[in-house]
Amino acid sequence: MILHAALFTWRPEVGPEEVEALTGALEEMAGALPMLSGYRCGVNLRLRPSPADYAVVALVADEQALAAYLDSPAHAAVYEAHLARMIESRQAVQLEVPDGTAL
């Protein structure tokens, strides 16, 4: 399995209502995408120093499922409706999760 994590830093003008709307849209999107084995998103709790404001973590079976998720029309729609205007910077990583080990 593959764990995909994306970290976002928002533009200064992004407010909490936009972040709340994004979270709702991402959760709705995730519920409709069968290739996702697990999904979490939310605001950085800032328990440790980090420039990231928000994170998305998706668990998928393989590289093909990751591509299907990232290239899906639902993902593109959330990006266009929310993320495109919010993002100052983005980083992403993919990690192997042996045998779907619980996180």
Residue 102 included in any domain:
no
Domain count, the chain: 1
Residue 84 included in any domain:
yes
Residue 63 included in any domain:
yes
Which residue segment(s) compose the domain that 87 sits in? Answer: 2-96
Residue 48 included in any domain:
yes
Interval 26-58: pLDDT, tens: 999 999 999 999 999 999 999 999 999 999 999
Tell me the CATH number at 46.
3.30.70.100
Torsion angle, alpha carbons of 61, 79, 5, 103, to 10: -60
Residue 67 included in any domain:
yes
Q: Are the C-beta atoms of 1 and 60 separated by less than 8 Å? A: yes
Residue 101 included in any domain:
no
What pLDDT, on a 0 to 100 scale, did the predictor assign at position 18?
98
Query: How does the average pLDDT of the chain come out, rounded?
Result: 95
